[in-house]
Amino acid sequence: MREFIVEADGGSRGNPGPAGYGSVVRDAASGQTLAERAEYIGVATNNVAEYRGLVAGLRAAHELDASASVHVRMDSKLVIEQMSGRWKIKHPSMKPLAAEAATVFPPGQVTYEWIPRERNKHADRLANEAMDAGGRGEEWTPSASRAELDATASAAPEPSGPPGDAAAGAARARAALADVRAARTVSGTTAPTVSGTTAPTASGAPAEPTREAVPASDAAPASGAAWADSGGAVSGGAATSAGTSGAVGAAVVDTGAAPAQTGAAPAQTGAAPSETSAPGWGSAPDLGAPATFVLLRHGETPLTPQKRFSGSGGTDPALSDIGREQAERVAAALARRGTIQHIVASPLARTRETAGIVAARLGLEVTVEDGLRETDFGAWEGLTFAEVRERHPEDLNAWLASPDAAPTGGGESFAATATRVAAARDKLIAAYAGRTVLLVTHVTPIKTLLRLALGAPPESLFRMELSAASLSVVAYYADGNASVRLFNDTGHLR
């Protein structure tokens, strides 16, 4: 089942006054914009415009996939509470709009969530563009829209994705077209209608729409209404494009970088429990939303740039200043995406600190899961690869050749790590079915989760690069199938 996020807004310059709405449909997993809707609706109230935006957004999502699950996010407390059934609808202009919105998708396929206005900037800008176009006597057109570009720029000064990001590229293209049209207007090539234009503010910009106070008759909760959490399964929530690096020779030392293998490819004996479900293109429509794990590797520690083994049996270093800055950046990126519902972290200091920074930004609690801890590298803890090669050459060669071999001094083999991680995975899938969960963990657990999802052999651990504070995503469906949706994305760090 596909999952969409619909963001909608409406505004009125006068309340009632010239009004318009804007709606955005996003893919829940990638955050990519799939559709935009905006329209000038003449003289109306703010709340009516918001409802019109909701209806337009739901219809746009329905056109994309009528069987999809939809999570609506708006900054109108009134609309969210009324559509969730917790507040009565008494205003005569809003009753038919609410009824229309409720019939676009079958009951149970749509959930509602209130968000702060600053997290609804894309839809807000679309509504303002529609009102501006109406003031000029024109219709809003998607080709001239700058809403996505402006919302992204105001939300984050740093790029929101790696080079080639489709959503950002499309927004830039629309902005370029808009700039061309603006230049033609200045030069006299185009003569837009100016009659009926909204009175500008002192700065010369169109007036911002007013926010209508909630009428007392519509603000009262419905008698006997349920107050249960209305948040539905919003899968995904990772960055918008595929990961940025896939270099061969990556990583079990703290940086994620390791030398190339020196022996034959390890045998697959001792691998974690195998995935039993048959591969396929996707889940059946009736399987429901998957459990989606957004895998975040912790930020840098002092050992990271030194390329030293840093597992669960060493000094348990905290984040460095760079690592804390990385955690702040990924927290900002996840806040903009807005799809994380729970946070689970490894018990080690660097993951708990990273998770705490993200949790503070998202307003969530952190749950600790011991199964997500890094491999114990035994006597190799704190050493570089070259130092291990010099001191324990035979043990290192055996470790590189077989997932059953453990590091010197009673460390943990990759086979043992995989068994532990697979058990933690199954536990978390059962606990968070249909939810989107941020797992803050380490190189080996993340690579292991990706390897098991892909059905790849144990030696694939040496052929993935995983950067500090990178994001990867795996979705787990009810039939046992898994889908890797993102790998080693570091766009939020640039």
Q: What positions carry a catalytic annotation?
A: 298, 374
CA distance linking residue 483 with residue 2, whole number of Å = 13
- Can you tell me whether residue 368 is helix, strand or coil? strand
The answer to whether 381 and 314 have CB atoms below 8 angstroms apart is yes
Place of tokens 């009102």: 131
Residues 6+ apart with CB under 8 A from 249: 257, 258, 259, 260, 462, 463, 465
Neighbour tally for 125: CB within 10 Å: 22
CA distance linking residue 24 with residue 364, whole number of Å = 25
Sign of CA dihedral 209, 214, 217, 221: positive
| E strand segments, 48-141 | 69-74, 110-114
CA distance linking residue 361 with residue 347, whole number of Å = 20
CA distance linking residue 35 with residue 7, whole number of Å = 11
Quickly list DSSP for 409-433: TT---HHHHHHHHHHHHHHHHHHTT
Helix (H) or strand (E) holding 154: helix 147-155
Taking each helix axis from N to C end, the angle separating 349-362 and 321-337, rounded to the nearest 10 degrees, works out to 40
- Can you tell me whether residue 163 is helix, strand or coil? coil
Radius of gyration (Cα) for the chain, nearest Å? 26
Quickly list DSSP for 207-240: PPPB-PPPPHHHHSBPTT---S---------S-S
CA distance linking residue 280 with residue 456, whole number of Å = 15
| Cβ neighbourhood burial of 217 (10 Å; 0-12, 13-18, 19+) | exposed
CA distance linking residue 399 with residue 28, whole number of Å = 40
Place of tokens 């949706």: 485
Helix (H) or strand (E) holding 177: helix 166-187
